Amino acid sequence: MHEMSIVSALVEQVRAFVPVDATLLSVRIEVGALEHLDDDVLRSLFGLLTEGTPLAGAGLAVERVPLRVRCAACGTEHAPPDPAALFCPSCGVARPEILAGSGVTLSSIEVDVPEGGE
Ligand SMILES: [Zn+2]
């Protein structure tokens, strides 16, 4: 499953950022409009993959990044309302270079670090 490989890579990435004695509170990711990913599936997989690890219990917030492209023919930047309709509004050519709206990025994590040594 596509979601599974994305979330497991994400969990690995997050694990590298969280200090040993800290508690992970939440993770925020940005998901491009071109990615056909279901927020609920991402969240439940995240819960599943972190279960029984120090990351367990953290929330996953999914933020959608709208698609933004630049026309390779005339340079016009536009935001196609529909990812299937990538024709340039200025010249009608469909040669979009994707500027934003693809891929999955880890945007922030929130941790609770205990103060003072115990
Ligand atoms: Zn154009």
3-state secondary structure 69-95: EEECCCCCEECCCCCCCCCCCCCCCCC
Return the pLDDT at 36. Answer: 87
* DSSP at 24: E
User: Are 71 and 95 within 8 A, CB to CB?
Assistant: yes
CA of 70 to the centre of ligand 1 (A): 8
Q: What are the pLDDT digits (tens) for 24-77?
A: 999 999 999 989 899 999 999 999 999 999 999 999 999 999 999 999 999 999
Enumerate the β-bridge partners of residue 60.
27
* Residues with C-beta atoms within 5 A of ion ligand 1: 71, 73-74, 76, 88, 90-91
What is the pLDDT confidence band of residue 118, given thresholds at 50, 70 and 90? low
Residues 70, 73: Cα–Cα separation, whole Å: 9
User: Are 110 and 26 within 8 A, CB to CB?
Assistant: yes
CA of 80 to the centre of ligand 1 (A): 12
